[in-house]
């Protein structure tokens, strides 16, 4: 180990193992004192090969596999998949099932945003807010458990409908829980907008204006905090959102504070929406008949996950297994913006800016090869293996000698 000759470069690595990130991702920040000069992002530590695995499972089995892409927004993955497959199979899902899908999706959004609030507060060193928001998150987890029997992978969807109904007693439980959560969310909104010390860490930090946000293709609450009016629930309504539109939430300042406010206000919108859905649950069966083989064709389905637009491409060759499924999770669109946002910021603000986009790494890792000349390119197992050896070999030897 020889001392670095380039004295100006002092790189602070965050990840793949680092207390700021609970999932593996690597960020290298070159700092001058406390100020970040440049940043690079590296992904791919948690590639699980799920897309490939779907090709050897039936349509029904894939539902359970795809739900496990993300441990936080599991329901929305299953919903996106179901919507796509149902479109291909030309199956009409009963309205009550659509409403329940939306209901669970909004409950999931609440739990995801509360989780994010805690994580973001922890990154800022505000552990009290972290503990309180995660305590309150238990309420929505309990509701989800009462509704579906599971806290995380609710498995509420089936192809052609949903598994679980909402009866009056459950509706009452949900309303009761929502009242409590609404009170708490309003309190947290007050805390993040009025607490002087916390504002010092959020106001004017990591500012991304609307043009920059549009350019870097930022989506979801991160984009909406910068005034990007993009929300799949409104732009291209699915399930119950077509009949009952949800109130959109936008902010324009684009700093960390705006990202807090957008997510908290989205929770408030979700509370209202769930109450409205419970009042207007249509009467219909929960499922419809679904063929075992899905007609040949391609479908695209887009839904609004808690972190932004979730995109599914599904191709069927007419058999009982898909030909190809491609998933693009919202983190992939947002993560590149971190590398731009942190430049010129303090090292201390880096974890908050990073968490500000609500990254979810494991959902994110995908291998795509795009050949520009339109030629088909076949990667054999041996070629992949050799590629891995070369790739990691050079990386590791560089790390050791630095």
Partner 1 sequence: MTELLQVLVTMLFFPAGLFLLANAMFYQWIDRKLVARLQDRVGPPWYQPLADTVKLLANEEVLPFGVNKWLFIGLPIIGLAGALTTALYLPIAGLPPAYGFPGDLIVTVYMLSMLTLCLGLAGANTRDRFSMVGATRTLTQLFSYEAPFLLALLGPALAAGSWQLSDIMAYASGNWLLLTQPIGFVVVIIGLMGKLEITPFDAPEAETEIVAGALTEYSGRGLALFRLGQWVELVIGLTMIAAFYLGGIHNPLDYVIKTLFPLLIIAGLQTLMTRLRIDQTVGMWWRYGALLALVQWLLIFLMGGGQ
Query: Looking at the DSSP assignment, which residues form a beta bridge with residue 29?
Result: 12, 39
Q: Does 149 bind partner 1 (CB under 8 A)?
A: no
State the nearest-atom distance from the C-beta of 127 to partner 1, in Å. Answer: 6
> Applying CB under 8 A, does 28 fall inside the site for partner 1?
no
Out of 1, 369, 370, 400, which residue is the one contacting partner 1 (CB under 8 A)?
1
Region of 118 (left: φ > 0; alpha: ψ -120 to 50; beta: rest) is: alpha
Nearest approach, Cβ of residue 175 and partner 1 (Å): 24
316 forms beta bridges with 297, 322
Cβ atoms of 115 and 72 within 8 Å: the answer is: yes
Stretch that binds partner 1, among 4-12, 149-157, 175-183, 281-289 (CB under 8 A): 4-12
Is the CB of 174 or the CB of 342 nearer to partner 1?
Answer: 342
Residue 23: how many CA atoms within 13 Å on its side-chain side?
A: 21
Binding of partner 1 by 124 (CB under 8 A): yes
Pick one of 201, 259, 265, 307: the residue that binds partner 1 (CB under 8 A): 201
CB of 34 to partner 1, least distance (A): 7
Q: Of the listed pieces 125-133, 240-248, 289-297, 386-394, which binds partner 1 according to CB under 8 A?
A: 125-133
CA distances from 22 to 33, 201, 251, 341, 396 (A): 26, 21, 28, 21, 22
Q: Which of 135, 151, 280, 292 binds partner 1 (CB under 8 A)?
A: 135
| Contact status: 198 vs partner 1 (CB under 8 A) | yes
Residue 125 binds partner 1, judged by CB under 8 A: yes
Q: Which two tokens stand for residue 133?
A: 């928001």
Taking the complex as a whole, the smallest distance from the CB of residue 345 to partner 1 amounts, in Å, to 10
In the list 9, 32, 34, 391, the residue contacting partner 1 (rule: CB under 8 A) is 34
Site for partner 1 in 348-387 (CB under 8 A): 348-351
- Extended strands (E) in 73-120: none
Which helix (H) or strand (E) covers residue 54, if one does? helix 50-54
Strands 157-158, 10-14: parallel, antiparallel or unpaired by DSSP? unpaired
Beta bridge mates, 135:
none
**Local structure of 312: helix, strand or coil:** strand
Contact criterion met (CB below 8 Å) for 268 and 186: yes
Single out the residue of 59, 116, 126, 164 in contact with partner 1 (rule: CB under 8 A).
Answer: 126
C-alpha–C-alpha distance, residues 391 and 388, integer Å: 5
Applying CB under 8 A, which residues contact partner 1? Answer: 1, 10-14, 18-20, 31, 34, 121-128, 131-132, 135, 195, 197-198, 200-201, 346-351
């Amino acid at each position: 180990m020889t001392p670095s000759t380039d004295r100006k470069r002092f790189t602070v690595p965050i990840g793949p193992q680092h207390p700021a990130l609970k999932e593996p991702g690597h960020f290298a920040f070159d700092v001058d004192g406390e100020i970040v000069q440049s940043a690079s992002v590296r992904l791919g530590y948690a590639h699980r090969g799920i897309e490939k695995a779907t090709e050897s499972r039936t349509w029904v089995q894939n539902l359970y596999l795809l739900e496990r892409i993300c441990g936080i927004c599991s329901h929305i993955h299953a919903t996106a998949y179901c919507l796509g497959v149902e479109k291909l199979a030309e199956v009409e899902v009963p309205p009550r099932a659509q409403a329940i899908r939306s209901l669970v999706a909004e409950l999931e959004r609440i739990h995801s945003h509360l989780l994010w609030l805690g994580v973001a507060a922890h990154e800022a060193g505000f552990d009290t807010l972290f503990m309180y928001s995660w305590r309150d998150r238990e309420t929505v987890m309990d509701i989800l458990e009462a509704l579906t029997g599971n806290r995380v992978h609710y498995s509420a969807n089936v192809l052609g409908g949903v598994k679980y109904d909402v009866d009056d007693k459950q509706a009452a439980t949900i309303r009761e829980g929502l009242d409590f959560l609404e009170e708490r969310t309003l309190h947290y909104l007050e805390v993040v907008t009025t607490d002087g010390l916390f504002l010092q860490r959020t106001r004017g930090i990591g500012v991304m204006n609307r043009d920059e946000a549009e350019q870097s293709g930022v989506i979801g609450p991160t984009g909406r905090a910068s005034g990007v009016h993009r929300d799949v629930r409104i732009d291209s309504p699915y399930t119950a959102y077509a009949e009952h539109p949800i109130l959109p939430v936008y902010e324009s300042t684009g700093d960390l504070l705006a990202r807090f406010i957008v997510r908290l206000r989205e929770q408030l919108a979700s509370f209202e929406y769930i109450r409205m859905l419970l009042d207007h649950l249509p009467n219909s069966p929960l499922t419809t008949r679904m063929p075992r083989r899905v007609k040949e064709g391609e479908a695209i389905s887009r839904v609004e996950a808690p972190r932004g637009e979730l995109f599914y491409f599904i191709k069927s060759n007419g058999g009982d297994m898909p030909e190809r499924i491609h998933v693009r999770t919202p983190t992939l669109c947002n993560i590149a913006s971190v590398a731009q946002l942190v430049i010129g910021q303090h090292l201390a603000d880096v974890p908050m800016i990073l968490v500000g986009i609500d990254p979810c790494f494991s959902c994110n890792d995908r291998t795509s090869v795009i050949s520009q000349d339109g030629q088909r390119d076949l990667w054999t197992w041996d070629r992949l293996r050799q590629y891995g050896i070369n790739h990691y070999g050079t990386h590791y030897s560089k790390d050791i000698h630095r």
